Amino acid sequence: METLEQTKLAKNKNRNLEGKLAIVTGAGRGLGRAMALDMASRGANIIATYSNSQSQAEELVKEINSLDQKAKAIQLNLSSMNNLESFKENLNEALKEFGREDFDILVNNAGISGSAVASNMTEEAFDELFTVNVKAVFFLIKELQDSIKAGGSIINLSSSLTKHSYNFTDYMVYSSTKAAINTLTRDFAVELGAKNIRVNAVAPGATFTDMTKDFLSDENVSEQFKSMTALKRIGQATDISPVVAFLASDDSKWVTGEIIESSGGALL
């Protein structure tokens, strides 16, 4: 993972998010943390949501502050839509602290993984995956769309598993949730286009994060993925975060409804 010192070195390289305010869900660790730091290094202020990792989210806020950017951590548990109302109240208070009535960027990163072949998948686990990974994304966009500034951007996190099973059929339900995200991305791009809000998705391949480290630490699994990737390595969170930053910026102002795979060339 990129260190704070490395992030500082990159601070002034590309300030294409100067003055923007971004909400990053699930930002306490892994991909969300990398995305928040990357955008902060480009000039964005950050509202970082977390479910359970409060201490990690608060540490992230300190790191962003050290980049001379503003940040605030807000709890958001996406396992129940009943939590959205209190989140909106806390968000409105946070916006006031930032001197804003709206925000520019929403990164729907928070999600859960789960693996089981069909014969072992329980209804409870199935419902939990679709609630957190799909239902929550839909209703978060629905509830927050009027607070996104015209010219703003929504980035959803998909997965290369929607195109490549890699013969890991025990991830069929997880990959189905990400296929649903792809459909929501395209349809919201059409619906919100009239408001000049762009909606895209990033689909990482095998990427080493807190969620995947146990799985990808297996040498056999790691070598299998490397062999199927054109660039012959496992992805890192900092391989994904610049793609998200591009879609968050005005550099991609003519890009919407796209699912951009960032997998190092999986199964080309």
- Nearest CA to 75 out of 101, 54, 102 is that of 54
Q: Given the DSSP bridges, would you call strands 259-262 and 198-204 parallel, antiparallel or unpaired?
A: parallel
Residue 171: C-alpha distances to residues 115, 120, 129, 220 (Å): 5, 12, 11, 18
Q: Which residues, other chains included, contact 112 with Cβ-Cβ below 8 Å and sequence gap of 6+?
A: 128, 129, 132, 133
CA–CA distance, 165 with 266 (Å, rounded to integer): 11
Q: Does 184 score more than 90 pLDDT?
A: yes
Q: Map tokens 């929550």 to a residue.
A: 136
Statement: residue 199 has pLDDT above 90? yes
pLDDT tens for each residue of 84-116: 999 999 999 999 999 999 999 999 999 999 888
Q: Which residue has the tokens 């997880």?
A: 174
pLDDT at position 114 is 85
- Based on the number of CB atoms within 10 Å of its own CB, is 13 exposed (0-12), middle (13-18) or buried (19 or more)? exposed
Whether the CB-CB separation of 64 and 96 falls below 8 Å is answered with no
- Residues forming the active site: 158-159, 174, 178
What confidence category does residue 164 fall into, taking pLDDT thresholds of 50, 70 and 90?
A: confident
Q: What is the tens place of the pLDDT at every residue in 40-79?
A: 999 999 999 999 999 999 999 999 999 999 999 999 999 9
Look up residue 50 and give its two tokens: 């977390």
pTM of the model: 0.94
Residue ranges with strand state E in 29-147: 45-50, 71-75, 103-108
pLDDT tens, position by position, 108-153: 999 999 888 899 999 999 999 999 999 999 999 999 999 999 999 9
3-class secondary-structure state, position 127: helix
The percent of the chain in helix, strand and coil, each rounded to the nearest 5, is 50, 20, 35
**Average confidence (pLDDT) over 146-163:** 97
- At residue 227 the predicted structure's pLDDT band, cuts being 50, 70 and 90, is very high
Mean pLDDT across the chain, nearest whole number?
Answer: 93
What pLDDT score was predicted for residue 80? 97
Residue 11 — very low, low, confident or very high, per pLDDT cuts 50/70/90? low
Q: Which token pair is 66?
A: 């050290």
> pLDDT over 70 for what percent of the chain?
95
Residue of 247, 235, 183, 246 lying closest to 211 (CA atoms): 235
The reported pLDDT for the residue numbered 55 is 96
Does CATH number 3.40.50.1370 belong to domain 9-259? no
- pLDDT of amino acid 6: 43
Q: Alpha-carbon distance 83 to 60, whole Å? A: 23
3-state DSSP call for residue 16? coil
Question: Nearest 5 degrees, angle CA 203-CA 71-CA 53?
Answer: 65
Residue ranges covered by each domain of the chain:
9-259
Token pair of 10, please? 């990159």
Residue 8's pLDDT is what? 43
pLDDT score of 213 more than 50: yes
